[in-house]
Structures are given as C-alpha cells and as structure tokens.
Amino acid sequence: MVKLADEVQAQQKKATRAAYGATLAELAGEGVPVVAVDADLTGSTTTKKLADAGYADRLFNCGIAEQNMIDVAAGLAITGHVAYTGSFAVFGTGRVYDQIRNTVCYSNLDVKIAPTHAGISVGPDGGSHQMLEDISLMRGLPNMRVLVPADYASARAALRLAATTPGPVYVRMGRASVPCVYADDVDLEIGRAYVLREGADATIVACGVEVEQALKAADMLAAEGISVEVIDAFSVKPLDEDTIVASVAKTGCVVVAEEHSVLGGLGSAVAETLARKHPARAEFVGMRDTFGKSGEFEELLDYFNMGAAAIVEAVKTVMAAKLL
C-alpha cells in the first residue's frame, strides 16, 4: 500500500513547483549528473535552488528564449547530462512543441520537460497563462512519459523518477499551494496508478490537484451512504490500465477528474482504455473546451466546476446512468 500523509501532514500546504529546485539539488548531491535549463524564470520555477545549493555551474538561464532552452537541454543530454527544462507550462510545452517533438522525442534524448504553473492554479495570471492542453500535447508524443503529481511529495518522487528513467519525461507542476496527500518519503513508479480509497459504488480516477478534490468528494459521498474508490493516475502515460479496469469492473462506472481540458488528457486516456477492455458509463470533470480566466485558484475550481462538489454530482450522474 502506498504511504499516505498522516493527519498532521495533510493539513500542510505546499506547491508542487516547490519540489523542483530542491529535488534537483538533492540529486546533484547524490552524484546524478543533473542540469537545469531555464527561460528567465529561475525564481518562479525554483530551479534557482540548484545554484543556491552550490551547483551554479549546473543552472543555465537562456533568457526569454524557450525554443533555445529545449535545444540547449538536448545538447547537454547528448554530452551525458540529465537535463531538466523549466518555464511556465504554457511556454514550456506550447511555445516549444516543435523542439520537444523533433529534437527531444524523435531522438529519444534524456531531457525532462518539467514546467511549473500548469492549469488554472496559475490563478490571477489569467487565461493566457493557464495551460490546459499540455497533457494532451505531451501524451501524444512517441517516447514521452507523462507524470502528474498530486502534491509536494509526489512531485519530488516524480522528479527523482525522471532522473532514473532514460529518455523524455514530462512532469507537470503547479503554482498554488495544495494539501499533502502522500507521506514525505513516498515511493512511486512510472506506469502505476494508486488506489487511495476502496469503494464499491463508483470509481473516481484523478490526477494532479484533482486527487485531493476526489478524496474530499469521497468523504462527502460517504456521508450520503455512497462508497467510491479513488485512484490517483499519477502516471498518465504509460497508464496503469489493469488497476483502472479492475476497479471499474467492480464498481460499474467511473468519473475522471483532471485540472486540464476534458479533450485529450487523462479522461481521454481512461476512455480509450475502457473502450478497448471494459466499456462502462463515464463522466468527466475538467475544463469544458474553454480558456481560463483570472481569479484565485479555489475560486476558479468552483467557477469551472472542477472542485469536490462537481465530482460529487458527476458520481451521482454516472451512477444513475449505470442503473438504466
């Protein structure tokens, strides 16, 4: 069983991006040949912590030149380094898609695409900076793995996994501070999903910040006598199809929740899997083919119907459809 946060830890809030520079510094101290290549956002992405820890020669700031950032990382990977790139997700995946596709993935280079400020957690920066299509972009690329951590501890685990996994890895991190889900020393795997709560009436598959919302929804539903199974699809690609199919076979229906467009992300990955292996009723909680807007993270979760209450309603809807 995966190690979850205790009651005291669960009250603590940290941003997933806060794990970035600190974890790179840990890896450097352990002798891993990590380098960070950033695009003039070393403070916001926290890659500056690598330099602050005494590894200034491992941090390369390319300025506001994101395409060049990817190419520099590719060059460093060719020379034997494990190269991480840092920027806001809207720039670190969207603006550089051609370089990621044709330079990194085509040659299967040891470059880790690890932007921060993904999703609506960017908050007041508004729709132009709230990247909600990145999982779709990255999971469609050959050779790319996609990890979406739920909290600080799983972000640290994802960054460490990326260092020991040859080839391209995408690690999605956010700006907002979120509650702890996992124990500090949690050990996760690429290609695994984790059952955080067992249930019989419906399955909730979530990733990223939606994992904590799914657990809240499970508590709310339990108060009404509804038992749901909550799965963290930490590894969106490769997806742990066996765990998800086994759960849906037991419950008969599924809700997928993600802080991302409902088009092309985790919901699509789960639907594709169930269509092949175990067709079932499904509902999807996420952005409904629209851009975000300026606001505080918690406000936006409710505004765009991505909070725990929306998951509760989706579970009730899919359970009713299951009975038809």
The DSSP line for 103-128 is IIITTT-SEEE--BSBGGGGGGG-TT
CA dist 283 and 2 (Å) reads 26
Torsion over CA of 112, 85, 194 and 140, rounded to 10 degrees? -70
Catalytic residues: 66
The DSSP line for 178-245 is EE--B-TT----TT--EEEE--SSEEEEE-TTHHHHHHHHHHHHHTTT--EEEEE--EEETT-HHHHH
Helix axis angle, 19-29 to 152-164, nearest 10°: 40
